[in-house]
């Protein structure tokens, strides 16, 4: 940080209502910490904003002093985009309010809210937003890149349920973007990531969900991987949108419902969530069980909030994480051969290979209705995640991810990726967004001509 910027910190502290952290301050190390323990960056200043005016003041300070800017919501991004060495972090964690209008089925959500905040508020009324699967994820980062999870087959992506945003631009303007106001900007923020400004408020439409849903998990040994994946290929696409099935290549966790002899055993699980009748859910489990008896299973009604928290412990803060993602049109036999070959090569029990089925409501949205980088044809999104509890475990898991991902490339949809899971390597944005890139670049030039917001899958101003 320049000496000029250091001298201005006192003025910045006086201008904002939230706390300001610089190196050496109490709380600085906590303020710069992010979910992925492999990220260790030292920003020059962290401004924990209490509202829109704080965001404007922080941006003005950064621009005036030539500081790089990052925006922190839930700090859950694998690549650690929430923090920047020597620059300024706009921390939105205090802007986490959620208000719900149950009659209109609308939720207004602060830009720093977590999914846990959103779920708690909406489930009081038996409502939910299609969003992610880990409750300590930030609503903002997840939404701006797309947002997929348990409800994607019912309601599409998070951006498909976005009604409006409030956004602060690099020059300090506070704008509303919706279908009837700044529509080009509204199109761009639905999938274009954090390229256009700091979103301080989201408005979502809601679905009736829960409070109880049906949950089932079946687990098979890794040696049965080919059979499991072929069974998933046969069953999942034909299910109604009241169901979602996540395919998981993982190590069985040491949880009470897992027999002790299977703890940490590598294998495949099908996680079957049902949002309709218990009878319909039981029929699907019966079909899977009859076709391929699992090593163990659990089936139970579960609060929707508990479903949203079910992966939290496995994805706790403090792990060293590396991730790559791709889309597969189908689970072909050739792709399955690669998947089965590579899963058993992981060394850490925390490393996983996940598949989300994307179809039904996801595929009913026109390709160009939003800036979302992925296509809308029915498909599987696969996430190869290497994770370890210590730095010593990390290099082997990173190499596992890279080798696995490279071997899978002949079988994926070329040139497409999910912005929220590109990890540290990323993809060139012009390739990622394809024919949408030119329009995005024009919009970027209008709202951020200086490319202040570039610590992302960056869209350069036209």
CATH number, position 191: 3.30.465.10
Q: Which ranges of 213-327 does DSSP label H, i.e. alpha helix?
A: 225-235, 278-291, 304-309
288 contacts: CB under 8 Å, gap ≥ 6: 218, 231, 235, 270, 272, 294
Rounded to whole angstroms, what are the CA distances from 323 to 3, 381, 405, 412?
38, 13, 9, 16
DSSP-derived pairing of the beta strands 106-110 and 198-205: antiparallel
Residues 54, 87, single domain; the answer is yes
Residues 224, 204, single domain; the answer is no
pLDDT at 426: 62
pLDDT at 261: 93
Residue 19 lies in a domain: yes
DSSP-derived pairing of the beta strands 162-168 and 174-178: antiparallel
Length of the chain measured in residues: 462
Residues 230, 188, single domain; the answer is no
Residue after which a domain boundary falls, among 91, 125, 141: 91
Q: Residue 36 sits in a domain of what CATH number?
A: 3.30.43.10
CA distance 392 to 322: 14
Range of the domain at 15: 3-91
Residues (pLDDT < 50) of the chain are 3-4
pLDDT at 3: 47
Residues 160, 306, single domain; the answer is no
1 contacts: CB under 8 Å, gap ≥ 6: 44, 45, 65, 67, 86
If one counts the domains in the chain, the total is 3
Residue 188 lies in a domain: yes
pLDDT at 8: 86
The DSSP code for 86 is T
Residues 261, 380, single domain; the answer is yes
Check if the beta carbon of residue 28 is closer than 8 Å to that of residue 3: no
Residue 459 lies in a domain: no
Total-model pTM: 0.95
Residue 457 lies in a domain: no
Residues 189, 82, single domain; the answer is no
Residue 426 lies in a domain: no
Residues 154, 220, single domain; the answer is no
Residue 452 lies in a domain: no
For Cα atoms 257, 254, 302, give the angle at the middle one, nearest 5 degrees.
40
Residues 176, 233, single domain; the answer is no
Q: Take residue 444 and report the two structure tokens written for it.
A: 């970027």
CA distance 298 to 451: 50
pLDDT digits (tens, 9 = 90+) for 191-208: 999 999 999 999 999 999
Residue after which a domain boundary falls, among 91, 120, 147: 91
Residues 361, 320, single domain; the answer is yes
């Amino acid at each position: 940080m320049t000496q000029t910027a250091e001298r201005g910190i006192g003025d910045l502290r006086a201008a904002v209502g939230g706390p300001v952290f610089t190196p050496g301050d109490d709380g600085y190390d906590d303020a710069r910490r992010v979910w992925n323990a492999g990220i260790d960056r030292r920003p020059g200043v962290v401004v924990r904003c209490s509202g829109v005016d704080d965001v404007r003041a922080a941006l003005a300070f950064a621009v005036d002093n030539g500081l790089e800017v990052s925006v922190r919501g839930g700090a859950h991004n694998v690549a650690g985009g929430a923090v920047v060495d020597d620059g300024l972090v706009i921390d939105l964690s205090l802007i986490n309010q959620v208000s719900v209008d149950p009659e209109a089925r609308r939720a207004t959500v602060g830009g720093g809210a977590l999914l846990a905040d959103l779920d708690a508020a909406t489930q009081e009324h038996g409502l939910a937003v299609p969003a992610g699967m880990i409750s300590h994820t930030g609503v903002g980062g997840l939404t701006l890149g797309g947002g997929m999870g348990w409800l994607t087959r019912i309601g599409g992506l998070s951006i498909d349920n976005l009604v409006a945003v409030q956004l602060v631009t690099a020059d300090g303007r506070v704008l509303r973007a919706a279908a009837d106001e700044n529509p080009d900007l509204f199109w761009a923020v639905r999938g274009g990531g954090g390229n256009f400004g700091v979103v301080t408020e989201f408005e979502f439409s809601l679905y009736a969900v829960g409070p109880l849903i049906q949950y089932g998990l079946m687990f098979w040994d890794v040696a049965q991987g080919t059979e499991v994946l072929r069974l998933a290929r046969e069953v999942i696409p034909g299910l109604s949108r009241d169901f979602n099935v996540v395919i998981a290549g993982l190590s069985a966790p040491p949880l009470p419902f897992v027999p002790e002899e299977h703890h940490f055993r590598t294998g495949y699980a099908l996680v079957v969530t049902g949002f309709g009748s218990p009878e319909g859910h039981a029929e699907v489990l019966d079909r899977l069980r009859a076709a391929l008896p699992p090593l163990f299973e659990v089936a139970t009604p579960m609060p929707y909030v508990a479903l949203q928290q079910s992966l939290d412990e496995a994805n706790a803060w403090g792990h060293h994480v590396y991730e790559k993602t791709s889309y597969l049109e189908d689970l072909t036999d050739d792709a399955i051969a690669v998947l089965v070959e590579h899963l058993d090569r992981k060394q850490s029990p925390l490393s996983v290979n996940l598949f989300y089925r994307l179809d039904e409501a996801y595929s009913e949205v026109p390709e160009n209705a939003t800036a979302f980088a992925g296509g809308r044809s029915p498909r599987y999104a696969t996430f190869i995640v290497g994770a370890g509890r210590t730095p010593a475990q990390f290099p082997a898991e990173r190499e596992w991810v890279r080798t696995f991902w490279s071997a899978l490339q002949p079988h994926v949809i070329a040139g497409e990726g999910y912005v929220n899971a590109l990890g540290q390597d990323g993809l060139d944005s012009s390739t990622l967004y394809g024919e949408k890139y030119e329009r995005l670049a024009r919009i970027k030039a209008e709202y951020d001509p200086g490319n202040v917001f570039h610590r992302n899958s960056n869209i350069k101003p036209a």
